[in-house]
Amino acid sequence: MSYREKIERYKKQQLTEEETKEVEAEIEKTEAISDYLADRLMDDLDEDFFAKDGDEQADTKEKMEQSTASAKEFEAYVKKSIHRSFRRMGMVVGGAVLAVVLFVQFGMSPLMSSLYYNPTKTDMVETKSGDITYETSYSQIGMDFHVYAELGLPCKGSDNLQAFSNGYGNYQILITPSISFGTKRGTATAGQIRKGKLELYNPNYLQGPPVNYFAGYGLDRDRDFVSQMKENVVEEDGELTIYNQWFYGTLEDGQEAIAELEDDNTMYQAYVSFDRPKTFTEVNEILNSLKEQDAWPSLVWIAVYGSEDGGVTVGYDYDTPQSMTPVSLNEKYPELSLYEKEGYDDADYENVKKKMQDESVMTQHLVSMLRYMGDQHKFVNMMEEYTSGIFDKSIADYIEENGISSYGFSCIATKADMQKMLEMDDIIGIVPESWN
């Protein structure tokens, strides 16, 4: 066995005890010889150095001092580089932090707002009158809520709706009800929109009309409603069994409810039912007849069939021509705004009042409102908690094909006004509610 092989076996602990002792003795001897030779080498170098003459020693000393100086310069350079690197790193980190802060403050809020419904989005429209230029502002929620309310919130429209941004998709809103002849400003309602979700402090404000407030709900449209109401009341052993779906059990119950109201000037929201479906012209004749009897219902909203079975209730305002949408939208939604000019104009206002007596115009107006609302996906999704179904495309298609047919109307009226309505042959029942 060679000595190299013996060493390899020693490292692997494969030697006998005797062989192991021999190798360790050799290692100890080799280490002692190595130490001795190292000491001899250092002594020889010292003798050689001090054997040189004085000039060589001075030169060597100078070189050592230069080396020391160079080492110090290098140390200083290294420290300076490190400090510079840290400064650069600090600037980069500081810049990154500043960028994040600026993004959070000025970038994230608009980005978050773009992801959700933004009620404060505004369209500015300029109009000229002679040498004067006027600016009209249309807020997104002002337009959307106006159309929404005219379609499904009788007597609860607003001509003054404000929204205030809190940043990051959050907003405060204030809805102030419209006023009309004989009415006063109703109680405003407020709330907040948080990332596309509406939270009203008075959620009942957005409650639409219950369909069974109108007597014709669920009845055959081809027959008069009075006879059908009577057919749905069966008397057995002095007890009445009522099968109709109207809010009151019988027409007499509804008349008694009106008679029991206080004889003062309290105003109610009245849901007025016709004796059968009425055409656009017939509805106008009924309302004109009421004025001749010195009955002046306000904020009149006409309920319109939105489907063949009558299960969908939509409508339009009869006597409150408001300019809450820009005229430019009429290019996509004809007659969405009944006005032809931006800003108020006496002649244009009178023209709108004439349009509201034109069945073809009001049919198109109703259809365009439904189609406009169907395109406002974020707004509609936000309102789904309060209502659903009135913006379905099929409703617009049905009205466009079949025209306007009505089974009643809602309005703001006094007890005296409602009693005059019940004297008319065309009106068979009224459900009153406290207004505001």
Same domain (yes/no): 202, 221: no
Given a contact cutoff of 8 angstroms between Cβ atoms, the answer to whether 297 and 269 are in contact is no
For the chain, 436 residues long, the average pLDDT of each consecutive 10-residue run is 71 75 77 72 58 54 61 63 64 60 52 79 75 78 91 85 87 83 70 89 80 87 90 81 86 92 88 95 95 88 88 84 86 94 84 94 96 92 75 88 95 93 95 84
Same domain (yes/no): 157, 14: no
For residue 110, is it within any domain?
no
C-alpha distances (whole Å) from 434 to each of 60, 271, 302, 369, 386 are 112, 11, 19, 28, 20
What's the pLDDT score for residue 232? 84
Same domain (yes/no): 195, 252: no
For residue 77, is it within any domain?
no
**Closest among 73, 93, 74 to 85, alpha carbons compared:** 93
Residue 106 sits at the vertex; the CA angle it makes with 102 and 111, to the nearest 5 degrees, is 120
Q: For 82-115, what is each residue's pLDDT tens digit? A: 666 656 666 666 665 555 555 555 555 566 657 8
For residue 380, is it within any domain?
yes
Same domain (yes/no): 24, 128: no
Convert 247-276 to b/e letters by CB count within 10 Å (16 or more is b). Answer: bbbbbeebbebbeeeeeeeebbbbbbbbbb
For residue 246, is it within any domain?
yes
What's the pLDDT score for residue 276? 94
- Percent helix, strand, coil in the chain, to 5, is 50, 20, 30
Same domain (yes/no): 253, 358: yes
Same domain (yes/no): 383, 299: yes
Same domain (yes/no): 198, 218: no
The runs of H, that is alpha helices, within 177-292 are 225-231, 251-259, 280-292
Q: For 118-174, what is each residue's pLDDT tens digit? A: 999 888 777 766 667 767 788 899 999 999 999 988 888 887 888 888 888 899 998
What's the pLDDT score for residue 148? 92
Domain count, the chain: 3
**Closest among 418, 435, 434, 436 to 273, alpha carbons compared:** 418
Chosen domain end from 206, 229, 258? 206
| Element at 380 (helix H, strand E) | helix 377-383
CA distance 35 to 52: 27
For residue 241, is it within any domain?
yes
For residue 325, is it within any domain?
yes
Same domain (yes/no): 346, 238: yes
What's the pLDDT score for residue 361? 96
Q: 270 is in which domain, residue-wise?
A: 211-434
What's the pLDDT score for residue 266? 87
- Model's pTM, two decimal places? 0.72
CA distance 198 to 379: 10
Chosen domain end from 182, 206, 230? 206
For residue 264, is it within any domain?
yes
Same domain (yes/no): 162, 241: no
50 DSSP β-pair partners: none
Same domain (yes/no): 138, 176: yes
The dihedral through the CA atoms of 225, 227, 229, 231 has a sign that is negative
Angle between helices 280-292 and 359-375 (to 10 degrees): 110
| Element at 28 (helix H, strand E) | helix 17-50
Same domain (yes/no): 302, 428: yes
What's the pLDDT score for residue 111? 63
CA distance 212 to 249: 11
Sheet holding 268-279, edge to edge: 313-317, 298-305, 405-413, 268-279, 427-434
Chosen domain end from 167, 183, 206? 206
Intra-chain end-to-end CA distance of the chain, in Å:
113
Same domain (yes/no): 163, 219: no
C-alpha distances (whole Å) from 78 to each of 72, 83, 206 are 10, 9, 73
Q: Report the 10 Å Cβ neighbour count for 332.
A: 11
Q: Percent of the chain, pLDDT > 70?
A: 76
248 DSSP 8-state letter:
S
What's the pLDDT score for residue 96? 59
For residue 301, is it within any domain?
yes
